Amino acid sequence: MIAASEPHTALAGARILRRGGNAVDAIVAAKFAATVTELPLTSLGGGGVCVWGDAADGYQVLDFFAAVPGLGLGVLPTLDFAPVTVDFGQTKQVFHIGKAAAAVPGELVGLLELHRRAGRLPLHEVVATAAAWARNGFTVSPQIAMIIGLIEPIAKSTPAAARLLLAGGRLPQAGDRLANPDLGDFLQALGEGDPNSLVAQYQASLVNHFGPAQGGLLTTQDVAAYAPVVREPLHVPFGPYRVLTNPPPAAGGGLIGAGLRIAESLGIGQESFLSREHQLVVAAILATVSQIRLAGYDHRLYADPASIRALVAGDGLPAWVERARSRTHENLLGATTHISVIDAEGMAAAMTTSNGEGCGHVLPELGIHVNNFLGEDDINPAGFHRLAPGSWMSTMMSPTIVVAGDRPCFALGSGGSNRIRSAILQALLNLLLYRRPLDEALNAARLHVEDSKLWFENVGLDEGVADALQQAWPAATCFDATSMFFGGVNGVASDDGRLSGAADHRRGGVVMVAES
């Protein structure tokens, strides 16, 4: 069973499951496909995180998010770094693009490392579907067409970006076809040749085209030093379950864990679902999680990660809340995408990746649009180009597996920038406390709190709930329809070996069953 944000992505993974691949083979194949068919959201020039495992071998996290470039540089060069404004209709937001917006990417080497560690099918089978769609073209889904429309200034910022993202020079519509022959050739060579030599070619291109002489910051030392990191998942005990998610230096897992501990301490779960009482108590939990984020949390991810593990164990929550003081930025697009898989043998995998919005520049002859992680406010809270070269960038990405005993019962995750923590936390509460069916748990009305501001969806709520939320949060923003602003949770479930799946309608999610 596979759940993803786009039909091609899900199909690529399902094909591999039908051919006898395991959950890791399927999720790697699906993510390679996503770098073709979900290009506004993810690329081999981006980064991500995967949690995977089974009852026999345990669970691990592979962190292949981005690192800060600039190792070996002295004085910063003249930087290719410029703002672009993205119009969301109700509001506008500024992102920064250009070659100096590119962090050291990890997605290509991360996917290869994950497959090497836990896949069982040969690489050429795993990449074949993605290579074919890149070379021969694929049909643009409504959701991807909409997202390309949102990032129009980036899609049109350079001729190379326009060739990948536009259809005959115009914004694509659902049903149009796009192709990326250079990427198709690269993926085919990756599967049929020596992956190490292809990675070396890719890394040399990064340095040649994103180095100081071209207005970027990537150096030979950066690509030589980069390697995906295997981490122990953050373990959050929750009743009869253990929630396994992304540990520090990522931000999201600890905040989700803190929210679960708060919910458990309050004894919630008996309120009528989507009632006034339910929505108000969830909003209060989300507000407390936001206070924790503002209480020196991001600093502790690096300086004191043990305190994050203590936090999700329920220790010291009041002290965290008392330290709240400042505000973070919101990325309204949240250009991330998520895949979840559970196979028939009980292996689970959950992977979230992103390209930011893309920096507007493409690696020549490879067709790889490179990230703009250094140009996003929300993951550069101290300001742009302030992080030390070589440091690992933090992310809200929180791919999550829930186990009962040692067996996986849910695998899920979400896109959505800072809303990722709220989306996954609410999905978990809906499943584990309110006992909602999987599809309802992932698609029910959602809330998010950032500092003192509430956003909520007024969809399916009991009568008077929206008024109660507005009264409790006078500055609240109400959405009268579900919105991609609130993320896109895709999940699969195993109940005594019976598999099911659900995908988030907000981002065009798709579920596929693969029967061999």
Chain-wide mean pLDDT for the chain?
93
Res 451 pLDDT > 50? yes
Task: Point out the catalytic residue in the list 9, 42, 336, 352.
Answer: 336
- Between the CA atoms of 95, 100, 104 and 107, what dihedral angle is there, to the nearest 10 degrees? 40
C-alpha to C-alpha distance for 383 and 112, rounded to whole angstroms: 32
C-alpha to C-alpha distance for 54 and 515, rounded to whole angstroms: 20
Q: What is the pLDDT of residue 464?
A: 96
Res 256 pLDDT > 70? yes
* Whether 336 is catalytic: yes
Amino acid symbol at 338: H
Res 142 pLDDT > 80? yes
202-216, 316-330, 369-383: lowest mean pLDDT where?
316-330
**HEC profile for 445-461?**
CCEEEECCEEEEECCCC
Whether the Cβ atoms of residue 16 and residue 125 lie closer than 8 Å to each other: yes
Distances in Å between the alpha carbon of 350 and those of 295, 398, 438? 29, 9, 16
- Between the CA atoms of 205, 206, 209 and 213, what dihedral angle is there, to the nearest 10 degrees? -120
C-alpha to C-alpha distance for 275 and 130, rounded to whole angstroms: 44
Q: What is the pLDDT of residue 326?
A: 41
Q: What is the pLDDT of residue 167?
A: 94
Task: Give how far the C-alpha of residue 224 lies from the chain's centroid of Cα atoms, to the nearest Å.
Answer: 25
C-alpha to C-alpha distance for 296 and 166, rounded to whole angstroms: 42
C-alpha to C-alpha distance for 404 and 390, rounded to whole angstroms: 38
β-bridge partners, 340: 3, 350
Q: What is the pLDDT of residue 319?
A: 65
What is the pLDDT confidence band of residue 75, given thresholds at 50, 70 and 90?
Answer: confident
What is the pLDDT confidence band of residue 322, given thresholds at 50, 70 and 90?
Answer: low
C-alpha to C-alpha distance for 505 and 444, rounded to whole angstroms: 10
Whether the Cβ atoms of residue 395 and residue 250 lie closer than 8 Å to each other: yes
Res 28 pLDDT > 90? yes
Q: What is the pLDDT of residue 327?
A: 42
**pTM, to two decimals:** 0.95
pLDDT in tens, 81-103: 999 988 776 667 889 999 999 99
pLDDT in tens, 484-496: 889 999 999 999 8
What is the pLDDT confidence band of residue 313, given thresholds at 50, 70 and 90?
Answer: confident
For residue 284, the SS3 value is helix
What is the residue extent of each domain of the chain? Answer: 64-226+352-392, 242-329+415-483
- The two tokens of residue 163 are 């060739």
Question: What is the percent of the chain where pLDDT is above 70?
Answer: 95
Mean local confidence (pLDDT), 210-222:
97
Distances in Å between the alpha carbon of 481 and those of 6, 94, 176, 289? 21, 25, 27, 25
Is 196 buried (19+), middle (13-18) or exposed (0-12) by CB count in 10 A?
exposed
Distances in Å between the alpha carbon of 346 and those of 11, 66, 403, 459, 476? 20, 30, 11, 35, 42
C-alpha to C-alpha distance for 54 and 91, rounded to whole angstroms: 44
C-alpha to C-alpha distance for 451 and 465, rounded to whole angstroms: 21
pLDDT in tens, 324-372: 444 445 555 557 899 999 999 999 999 999 999 999 999 999 999 999 9
Q: What is the pLDDT of residue 320?
A: 66
Whether the Cβ atoms of residue 17 and residue 342 lie closer than 8 Å to each other: no
For residue 52, the SS3 value is strand
Amino acid symbol at 471: Q
Q: What is the pLDDT of residue 328?
A: 46
Half-sphere exposure of 281 (CA within 13 A, CB side): 21
